[in-house]
């Protein structure tokens, strides 16, 4: 049996595009002599569809698309993923399903049994878990077909009390196929490989795994589809962050070979290289799938906006990026020069719009209310919000989308101005800690100087008052970021973090800042997710909770 794996980029709710793409690849695989082509979980509608799944028409359009796809499968079989109606009156109204299509008809339906309901996943909100498990016979092979999480219960401290493969193995399959929608995090690829390798070893069967690629608002799917032989040896690993189709000959459980040169990387990319690729894909798909073309951002001369500008220029083309320099009376000459040098290095568009007159107008207007009180955070935030007003005016006039440039360290402790530098259409580095931003800047400069060296080496500053530095308000980032990581990613308590050797006062102050800033994060743009625990849909905290505040 010749099997094709199709690792493709889908668009949530774009049935016409998704269906056309699936059918096109069916025809290509048919020409290559494939017997079966496998697509990813919920490929027909895209993942995650979220509350679109509550619309009956949406589910009907999924079925209509599936029937169009089936009509094209006369000489080849295919596996597609889609939501389907649960005809049992008990339980949720939908199933997360896979259709096995052969000779123009849906010959088998497999429903997902293990529905993730943690972090960014909320599948049990929509779907009923399957309790029925059957293999599929095709071309002399018996296929154990599962959907994503159904193979993820082999780890220590499993989340579920059953393993679908434990039931399917009793039917004596000779191959496993798993269709998935597994989002990117910089530590996730190795975990994914280990989980799937364990399945191949445990059940002594070859395993074909197909993942999505592409970004859907916050979520980025990295591809990296996998093939293992019956011993758990890795046969092939499809490219990351790009569409790919690969072919394999399966004659028996012990006779599996790729029909092209395997793309297993000789050396795994480091975290920063992966984050770079993910952010490029995240920006590009956010603009393309939303129908936008032009991006703008405030370029301060600091490292955060420089990194975001460089990423945007790479993702969208420098001609589609408008960098706006918005100096105030506190902006240093070197910051303006650093910003101008970056624009020159990138070749993007730029504007210089001083904001002193705007902030003076605000302060003069408020003088009767401020009553000559000393300069403080109110005047600092007027500067930040003045910049946001200018940037949003340009967006409204010219159709730009504003890129938010706040990093994860700032977002965590609330070191930013609500409705000021925290505004934007998409947050590019809101899941990248400040120490990682420095690493990302150096990575961007790996072949030539894109980000001026002075931007990287100078002390970070918001430049909202004379001689201001980030460390006036925060611990050094090489102290702050590990504390934040332990609390946010690893859910450690203050006592546990202090036990690691961190200063008691610093830990308690930092964690209190994180919790007090929750109301700010509720009002900020969606954040491109690159870590195992990002702010946004994967981290849900009460605003008025007292714990650790």
How long a stretch of residues is the chain?
Answer: 549
Distance CA 391, CA 312 (A): 16
Catalytic annotation on 397?
A: no
Question: Distance (Å, rounded) from C-alpha 177 to C-alpha 150?
Answer: 11
Nearest to 450 by CA among 315, 320, 341: 341
Q: Give the list of residues 6+ apart from residue 377 with CB closer than 8 angstroms, or none.
A: none
Give φ, ψ of 61 to 5 degrees: -65, -30
d(CA 244, CA 161): 35
Going by C-beta distance under 8 Å and a sequence separation of 6 or more, which residues neighbour residue 528?
215, 218, 220, 278, 279, 282, 283, 286, 426, 427, 428, 429, 430, 431
The C-alpha atoms of residue 251 and residue 149 are separated, in whole angstroms, by: 27
The span from the CA of 25 to the CA of 10, in Å, is 13
Query: 215 - beta bridge partners?
Result: 220
Task: Pick the closest to residue 408 from 451, 437, 441 (CA basis).
Answer: 437
Maximum alpha-carbon separation in the chain: 86
Phi and psi dihedrals of 13, rounded to 5? 75, 0
- CA separation, residue 364 to residues 194, 357, 367, 379, 488 (Å): 63, 10, 5, 11, 42
Distance in angstroms (rounded) separating the CA atoms of residues 221 and 86: 28
Alpha-carbon distance of 320 to 304, in angstroms, equals 19
- Residues 2, 21, 30, 41: which is the catalytic one? 41
Residue 100's φ and ψ, nearest 5 degrees, are -100, 115
Taking the alpha carbons at both ends of the chain, their separation in whole angstroms is: 60
Query: SS in 3 state form for 255-297?
Result: EEEECCCCCCCCCCCCHHHHHHHHHHHHHHHHHHHHCCCCEEE
Residue 403 contacts residue 296 (beta carbons within 8 Å)? yes
Q: Which two tokens stand for residue 322?
A: 């408008």
Q: Which tokens belong to 184?
A: 């990117």
- DSSP strand pairing (226-228 vs 207-210): antiparallel
Examine the residue annotation and report whether 112 is marked as an active-site residue of this protein.
Answer: yes
Place of tokens 């955060």: 304
Q: Which of 43, 62, 78, 148 is catalytic?
A: 148
Residue 161 · residue 129 · CB < 8 Å:
no
* Active-site residue flag, 319: no
With the CA atoms of 303, 308, 310 and 316 taken in that order, what torsion angle do they form, in degrees rounded to the nearest 10? -170
Q: Which residue in 21, 112, 289, 434 is the catalytic one?
A: 112
Cα separation, 82 vs 512, whole angstroms: 43
Catalytic positions, please? 41, 112, 148
């Amino acid at each position: 049996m010749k099997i094709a794996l199709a690792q493709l980029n889908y668009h949530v709710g774009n049935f016409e595009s998704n269906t056309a793409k699936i059918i096109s690849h069916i025809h290509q695989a048919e020409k290559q002599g494939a017997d079966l082509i496998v697509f990813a979980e919920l490929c027909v509608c895209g993942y995650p569809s979220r509350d679109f799944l509550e619309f009956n028409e949406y589910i009907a359009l999924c079925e209509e698309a599936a029937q169009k796809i089936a009509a094209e499968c006369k000489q080849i079989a295919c596996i597609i993923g889609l939501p389907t109606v649960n005809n049992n009156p008990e339980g949720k109204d939908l199933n997360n399903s896979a259709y096995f299509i052969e000779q123009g008809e849906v010959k088998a339906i497999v429903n997902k049994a293990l529905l993730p309901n943690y972090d960014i996943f909320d599948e049990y909100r929509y779907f009923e878990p399957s309790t029925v498990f059957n293999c599929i016979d095709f071309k002399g092979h018996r296929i154990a077909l599962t959907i994503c999480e159904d193979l993820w219960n082999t780890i220590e401290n499993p989340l579920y009390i059953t393993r679908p493969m434990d039931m399917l193995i009793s039917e004596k399959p000779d191959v496993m196929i798993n269709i998935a929608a597994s989002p990117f995090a910089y530590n996730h690829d190795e975990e994914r490989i280990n989980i799937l390798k364990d399945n191949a070893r445990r059940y002594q069967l070859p395993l074909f795994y197909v993942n999505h690629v592409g970004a859907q608002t916050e979520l980025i799917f990295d591809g990296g589809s996998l093939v293992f032989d019956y011993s758990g040896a890795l046969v092939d690993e499809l490219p990351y962050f790009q569409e790919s189709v690969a072919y394999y000959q399966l004659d028996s459980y012990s006779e599996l070979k790729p029909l092209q040169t395997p793309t297993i990387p000789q050396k795994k990319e480091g975290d920063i290289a992966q984050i770079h690729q993910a952010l490029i894909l995240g920006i590009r798909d956010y603009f393309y799938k939303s129908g936008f073309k032009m991006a703008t951002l405030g370029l301060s001369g600091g490292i955060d906006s420089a990194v975001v500008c460089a990423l945007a220029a790479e993702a969208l083309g420098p001609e589609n990026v408008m960098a706006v320099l918005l100096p105030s009376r506190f902006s240093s000459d070197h910051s303006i020069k650093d910003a101008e040098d970056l624009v020159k290095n990138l070749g993007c568009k730029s504007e210089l719009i001083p904001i002193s007159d705007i902030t003076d107008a605000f302060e003069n207007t408020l003088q009767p209310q401020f009553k000559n009180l000393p300069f403080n955070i109110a005047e600092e935030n007027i500067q930040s919000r003045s910049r946001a007003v200018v940037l949003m005016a340009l967006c409204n006039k010219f159709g730009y989308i504003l890129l938010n440039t706040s990093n994860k360290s700032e977002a965590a402790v609330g070191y930013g101005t609500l409705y000021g530098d925290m505004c934007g259409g998409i947050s590019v580095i809101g899941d990248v800690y400040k120490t990682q931003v420095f690493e990302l800047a150096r990575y961007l400069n790996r072949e030539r100087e894109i980000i001026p060296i002075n931007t990287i080496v100078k002390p970070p500053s918001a430049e909202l008052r004379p001689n201001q530095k980030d460390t006036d308000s925060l611990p050094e980032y090489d102290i702050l970021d590990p504390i934040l990581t332990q609390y946010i990613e690893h859910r450690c308590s203050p006592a546990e973090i202090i036990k690691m050797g961190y200063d008691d006062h610093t830990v308690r102050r930092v964690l209190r800042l994180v919790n007090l800033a929750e109301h700010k994060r509720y009002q900020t743009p969606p954040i491109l997710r690159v870590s195992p625990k990002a702010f946004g849909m994967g981290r849900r905290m009460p605003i008025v909770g007292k714990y650790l505040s």
